Chain A
Amino acid sequence: MIRLVALRLLFGVLTLWAASAMIFGGTELLPGDLATAVLQNSATPENLAEMRSKLGLDRPPLVRYGEWLGRAAHGDLGVSLSNDRDVVEEISPRLWNTFLLALFAALIAVPLSICMGVLAAIYQGGIFDRAVNVITLLTISVPEYLIGYILVKYLSVQYDLFPSLANVSADTGFGDRLWLTFLPMVTLVLVVVAHMMRMTRASVLSIMASPYIEMAILKGVSKPRIVVLHALPNALAPIISVVALNLAYLITGVVVVEAVFVYPGLGQLMVDAVSKHDLPVVQGCGLIFAGAFILLNMIADVLAIMSNPRLRRPR
């Protein structure tokens, strides 16, 4: 089992390295370049050439990749091409923001969806099951920005209960932060709960069909007890993996919600950087996103291995 976990960790590191190459290569493919994107229609051949050489865009990509990777390994992601700021300095407060919002949403969404999934499985086919089914389908079928706008319209503009701007800054206190990020948090919870809840329900139900559960039913154990004590532990592996996927989404996929609530997170930074061709920032963000995803998946896999006796000793 330890060997298996170690192997998984090694693969994680290799994947991260491959991802770095892919991010660097991918960003090189973007058409146009920073110089034209920044100058827009004030570009002249002279100021374009000046800007390009200043930005080092005239050197071969492989050389730049080597240098970049070497420095990245030491925690130096270079300097933003468009405003000369250190990329790490630029990213870290936003990464912190992104992380806090994801954490806030996850702390509510994960227990909520697992409880709902289990309850729906226990009362399969009942009113609760059906209602939750339709409601979660509704929340996943509405574009996330529309959820955001609707929340703002009612909870902020109409009844003035919560602020529509989540413009936190480094010196925002903990309480204020919870207050300011309440609406984006609710939006995100609504987006991710459906997927996790449905997976929990499905996994539990699939275990419920196995012989040892039927045995338990025949022995007359009550249904809630069977679900919680017997089915849930055995259904953990797929649930953990779906939770990991959704946590990764909370970190890497929330750019739209950030735009709606003006939340200074990492996604907005990366989209801005892509459209302005600020490659060091794009690459830095890409690396962090990839890292977060790989880490979460690794943890999920390790947890899955530990939670499942059959996976502990693979054939």
Chain B
Amino acid sequence: MIGLLIITVNLVGALGAPVLAPFPEAEIVGDAWAEPSPAFWMGLDNLGRDIFSRLLFGARMSIGLSLMITALSFTIGIITGFAAAIAKGWVDTLLSRLVDLMLAMPTLIFAFVVLSALGTDLAVMVVTLAILDGVKVFRVARALAMNISALEYVEVARLRGEGLWWIITREVLPNAMLPLIAEFGLRFTFAFLFVAALSFLGLGVQPPAADWGSMVRDYRDVIALDVPAPLFPAAAIALMTIGVNFVVDWLAQINTRGLGDAK
């Protein structure tokens, strides 16, 4: 329940940012690195912008971005993974080798090269990261589907002459839901961090738009100075991650109970 609460607060902050934020996200309202005060709850950042306002606007960018990346990567990964596991034969071999190939590329540097070549447009970033993430989801999905499709009831369905799509949606997906949800929580977090790591290397969200990862990066220099600025976006990322994972664990529990597992 704590998880749900955290997520709700974050979503309200993200959606209500234009109303809730005391200042526009790019507005310079005072001196750089001003201390927190009643007017500026979390102080001002490296250019003199209000950190609290940027955090709210950053929530939209960060949560939205990660959600898009993760949703897209799961769509790609699950469809191809299940298809590979159930179709078997050359489809499986081809897809698996292709994925091995993609996995063999160092992810961060691969993204660095692609984004260097194509520019740091948001759409390019989402699709690149989704594909990179999708190949990892593929592996999980394929392994799960392999196990499930070896079970008797799937064999029975196959013998009944049910189509590939029917088997995926009716038999495999419901039974693979639990681990996939757990994976979703982790992947969602990684998407956050990946965007943050990219901005460390100088690619990422375009200014003056805020995202939590680049906020941490922009403020990192003052850590040694005891200025709290970098801790706020970092805490936001940490809270959101924990919230999402709590909810995932909770859903997993409900799911197990729903299935009537003896526990």
Name A residues whose Cβ lies closer than 8 Å to a Cβ of B. 11, 14-16, 18-19, 22-23, 26-27, 29-31, 133-134, 137-138, 140-146, 149-150, 152-153, 157, 195, 198, 202, 206, 209, 214, 238, 252-253, 255-256, 259, 267, 270-271, 274-275, 282, 286, 289-290, 293-294, 297, 315
6 nearest A-B residue pairs (beta carbon): A141-B241, A252-B106, A290-B104, A141-B238, A143-B196, A293-B104
Interface SS of chain A: helix
Hey, which chain B residues are within 8 Å of A134, CB to CB? 242
Other than the given A22-B105, A143-B216, A145-B217, 10 more pairs (CB < 8 A) read A134-B242, A137-B189, A138-B242, A140-B190, A140-B193, A214-B262, A255-B201, A274-B116, A289-B106, A315-B150
25 residue pairs A–B, Cβ–Cβ below 8 Å: A26-B114, A29-B113, A29-B117, A138-B242, A140-B190, A141-B192, A141-B237, A141-B242, A143-B196, A143-B197, A143-B216, A143-B217, A146-B220, A150-B223, A214-B262, A252-B106, A256-B201, A259-B200, A274-B112, A286-B105, A289-B109, A290-B105, A293-B105, A294-B100, A297-B103
A14 and B97 contact, Cβ closer than 8 Å, known pairs A141-B192, A143-B193, A198-B186: yes
A30 and B186 contact, Cβ closer than 8 Å, known pairs A22-B101, A138-B238, A153-B224: no
Do residues A143 and B234 form an inter-chain contact, with CB atoms below 8 A? yes
Interface SS of chain B: helix
Do residues A143 and B237 form an inter-chain contact, with CB atoms below 8 A? yes
B220 CB to closest chain A CB, in angstroms? 6
Do residues A137 and B106 form an inter-chain contact, with CB atoms below 8 A? no
Hey, which chain A residues are within 8 Å of B224, CB to CB? 149, 152-153, 157
**Of B110, B116, B223, which one neighbours A149 at CB under 8 angstroms?**
B223
A137 and B107 contact, Cβ closer than 8 Å, known pairs A27-B113, A31-B117, A143-B196: no
Complex-state Cα separation, A141 to B186, whole angstroms = 9
Across the A-B interface, how many residue pairs have beta carbons closer than 8 Å? 135
Do residues B213 and A143 form an inter-chain contact, with CB atoms below 8 A? yes
Number of B interface residues, CB 8 Å?
47
**Of B97, B108, B114, B189, which one neighbours A141 at CB under 8 angstroms?**
B189
Do residues B116 and A137 form an inter-chain contact, with CB atoms below 8 A? no
Hey, which chain A residues are within 8 Å of B223, CB to CB? 146, 149-150, 153
Hey, which chain A residues are within 8 Å of B16, CB to CB? none
Hey, which chain A residues are within 8 Å of B100, CB to CB? 11, 15, 294, 297
Hey, which chain B residues are within 8 Å of A271, CB to CB? 109, 112, 201
Hey, which chain A residues are within 8 Å of B216, CB to CB? 143, 146
Q: Is B179 an interface residue (CB 8 A)?
A: yes
**Of A30, A152, A297, which one neighbours B113 at CB under 8 angstroms?**
A30
Interface members, chain B 94-141 (any A CB < 8 Å): 97, 100-101, 103-110, 112-114, 116-117
Do residues A142 and B105 form an inter-chain contact, with CB atoms below 8 A? no
Complex-state Cα separation, A221 to B109, whole angstroms = 49
Do residues A252 and B197 form an inter-chain contact, with CB atoms below 8 A? no
Interface centre among A11, A23, A137 (most CB of B within 10 A): A137
Hey, which chain B residues are within 8 Å of A209, CB to CB? 261, 263
Q: Is B230 an interface residue (CB 8 A)?
A: yes
Complex-state Cα separation, A27 to B110, whole angstroms = 10
Do residues A267 and B242 form an inter-chain contact, with CB atoms below 8 A? no
Hey, which chain A residues are within 8 Å of B150, CB to CB? 315
Do residues A19 and B196 form an inter-chain contact, with CB atoms below 8 A? no
Complex-state Cα separation, A274 to B263, whole angstroms = 53
Hey, which chain B residues are within 8 Å of A198, CB to CB? 186
Do residues A137 and B245 form an inter-chain contact, with CB atoms below 8 A? yes
Complex-state Cα separation, A294 to B102, whole angstroms = 11
Do residues B113 and A143 form an inter-chain contact, with CB atoms below 8 A? no
Complex-state Cα separation, A143 to B200, whole angstroms = 10
What string of 1s and 0s marks CB contacts (under 8 Å) between B226-263 and chain A?
Answer: 00001000100110111001000100000000000111
Hey, which chain A residues are within 8 Å of B176, CB to CB? none
Do residues B186 and A195 form an inter-chain contact, with CB atoms below 8 A? yes
Do residues B117 and A140 form an inter-chain contact, with CB atoms below 8 A? no
Chain A residue at minimal CB-CB distance from B220: A149
Do residues B101 and A19 form an inter-chain contact, with CB atoms below 8 A? yes
A145 and B200 contact, Cβ closer than 8 Å, known pairs A29-B117, A30-B117, A274-B113: yes
Hey, which chain A residues are within 8 Å of B113, CB to CB? 26-27, 29-30, 274, 282
Chain B residue at minimal CB-CB distance from A140: B189
Chain B residue at minimal CB-CB distance from A295: B104
Chain B residue at minimal CB-CB distance from A291: B104
Hey, which chain A residues are within 8 Å of B245, CB to CB? 137
Do residues B201 and A202 form an inter-chain contact, with CB atoms below 8 A? no
Do residues B186 and A146 form an inter-chain contact, with CB atoms below 8 A? no
Interface centre among B143, B193, B240 (most CB of A within 10 A): B193
Chain B residue at minimal CB-CB distance from A134: B242
Interface centre among B106, B216, B240, B242 (most CB of A within 10 A): B106
B4 CB to closest chain A CB, in angstroms? 16
